[in-house]
Structures are given as C-alpha cells and as structure tokens.
Amino acid sequence: MKPPPPLKAITAFESALRHRSFSIAAAELHVTPGAIGQQIRKLEDWLGVRLFIRRVREVEPTPDALAYWARIQPALAALSQASWGLREQRSNGVWLTMPPTLAARWFARRLPQFLAAHPNLAIHLSSATTMTDFDSDTIDLAIRYFDGHAPHLETQLLHADEARVYCSPAYAKKMKLKRPADVARTTLLHNTLHPHWARWLADFAPIDIGLHPALSSVHFDQSLMTIDAAVRGQGLVLTSPWLAEEELQIGALIEPFPAQRLTLDKGYYLVHRRGAPVRPAVETLKRWLIAETASIPSATR
C-alpha cells in the first residue's frame, strides 16, 4: 500500500489556494503564515511540483496547483461533510436560517416559548436574504421566501404570501383614506421584498406610478424599516401580514383597503436537503415550526 500524502499539508494548501493568501489561511487554521509556508513546501516536495508563485504580499497558484485542487476538492468536501455529520448525529443543536425581517418580527417572539418546551435543545439562528447552500453551509433547516420550486430540497409551505396595504390609524385619518384612488396624495413606502406598488396601483387604482408627479416615495432595503416607517406615520407600506403581525394586533397599523390585496406567487417555505437523514432535534423544531404557522389566526394570514 502506498503511503498517504501529508494530510496536514493538504489542508494548508486548500485554504491557501481558496483565499489566495498564506496569511488568511493562517488565520483560518489558527497557525502562523510561516507554518502555512512550511506545509506548502512540504507538499511541493512530496508532489514534486511547484504549487505557488510567491510574490510580495501575494501568492499565485500554478496551473499544476489549480488542477490538483480541482481533483481533491470533492474528496475534501465529502470528508468534511461525513465528519460533521457523524459529530452532529446525536447533537441537540439545530442550525436554522431565515430572512432577517421574519427572524425579528415573527420568530424572535416565539423562540422563548419553544425553548421553554424543549430546554435541552440549542438553536443556532442566522438571518440572511441569500439562498442557503446545504452542501457547504452548516445549516439543518432554512425558511426561504421563494416560489417553492427546488427539486433538490424537501419543501413545506408555511405561509402563502399576500401583499396588503397598511398604515397607522393617524395617517389614514390625516390623509382621509376611503378608496384606493386616495393613495395619490400619500407617500408610498417601498421595500425590496415586496416591490409591488406598481402592480397594486395598476390593479386597484387608476394611477400610473411612473407618471403621477404628486406621488412621493421612499425606498428601503429591508421590510423591517418599511414597517417601522409606516408605524411612525410616514406613509403606506405594502407588505406581508405575517411580517406586520404584532403591529396589527396592537393597533399600530391598520389596513385601509381590505378588499384590495395582491395574491403573490411566492411564500415562506421550510426547506432542508432532500434525502438527508433528519436528526431528532431537527425534526422537533421542524414539527414545531409547521404547527406554529398553522395556528396563526386567519385574520393575519
């Protein structure tokens, strides 16, 4: 049997090539840049080829290095996945990710209730607007806002989304909002998650958002900020009732046009890797999320 290559040196090589930097690789592996250099030289001696061209403050992988990395990368990924899978097989930790506004507006309010019922479980929550890569990220479950089409994932619809118009009671009174055409004298609060004002106006009010000079607008990159602006009486927000649940319950927001709602082709889906074994801790959280969303009162769905 042939002796194996220096595995520690391969780890240093993979990190250095991925970052194109010995110093960043050193920080990632908690060693010194000199130690990374020593491991790279050790691997170069073992392979008999040069792997990096060393320049001042930068390193450049050689064609041999790039070809070698392409060959070993799948094996390294499989090794990492198998190792983490075995380590976490009996773990009570669950790694969950979801959009930031949903995490702040809906999940954070219910998390204490879940932890009280399941004190032995540990939730690791992250929020992001980007899609989760289950092959490379340490994530068990994700709540995604999309159309539900993902053949490589198990998907469970939690909430079929709608876009509804909300504002503060004081703002509705000030602007005398009685019918959809009255939005012509308001400020429209836009957000990137529900960018549907043009469609709402086209469907329900005789207003062209691009041609109406008196229609003012404010644009936000997060629904959280848009909802807060509406609560403060700064305009009308078009958003999901799920995200505005608390404000609706306490009366901080009202729906001035309840008959004019947009049905959307997206929703909030609970997803995880298709065919992957689901640990008991993950299954517990999954079942709780499904039950908790099913119990949302119809008035806010």
pLDDT of residue 5: 85
Two tokens, residue 79: 């090794």
Max mean pLDDT among 74-83, 86-95, 271-280 falls in: 271-280
Of the given ranges (65-79, 109-123, 162-176), which has the lowest mean pLDDT? 65-79
pLDDT of residue 168 exceeding 80: yes
pLDDT of residue 234: 96
Confidence label for 211 from pLDDT (cuts 50, 70 and 90): low
pLDDT of residue 144: 93
Two tokens, residue 233: 């009486």
| Mean pLDDT confidence for 49-63 | 87
Top pLDDT among 254 and 20 is at: 254
pLDDT of residue 296: 63
Q: Which class would CATH give 7-88?
A: mainly alpha
pLDDT of residue 129 exceeding 60: yes
Half-sphere exposure in the Cβ direction for 279 (13 Å, CA) = 18
| Mean pLDDT confidence for 36-51 | 93
Percentage of the chain surpassing pLDDT 70?
Answer: 91
Of the given ranges (18-32, 35-49, 72-86, 228-242), which has the lowest mean pLDDT? 72-86
pLDDT of residue 156: 94
236/238 Cα distance (integer angstroms): 7
Confidence label for 301 from pLDDT (cuts 50, 70 and 90): very low
Confidence label for 1 from pLDDT (cuts 50, 70 and 90): low
DSSP secondary structure letter of residue 190: E
> According to CATH, where is 3.40.190.10 located in the chain?
93-158+266-300, 162-265
26/31 Cα distance (integer angstroms): 5
Domain 162-265 sits in CATH 3.40.640.10: no
| Mean pLDDT confidence for 162-189 | 95
**CB neighbours of 145 closer than 8 A, spacing ≥ 6?**
99, 102, 161, 193, 266, 267, 268, 269
| Mean pLDDT confidence for 213-222 | 80
**pTM passes above 0.85:** no
Percentage of the chain surpassing pLDDT 90?
Answer: 55
pLDDT of residue 209 exceeding 80: no
> According to CATH, where is 1.10.10.10 located in the chain?
7-88
Confidence label for 2 from pLDDT (cuts 50, 70 and 90): confident
CATH architecture of 93-158+266-300: 3-Layer(aba) Sandwich (3.40)
Reduce the DSSP state of residue 55 to 3 states and report it.
strand
Rg (the chain; Cα; Å): 26
Confidence label for 113 from pLDDT (cuts 50, 70 and 90): very high
pLDDT of residue 300 exceeding 70: no
pLDDT of residue 299: 39
291: left (phi over 0), alpha (psi -120 to 50) or beta: alpha
285/124 Cα distance (integer angstroms): 12
Confidence label for 169 from pLDDT (cuts 50, 70 and 90): very high
| Mean pLDDT confidence for 50-68 | 88
pLDDT of residue 85: 64
pLDDT of residue 13: 92
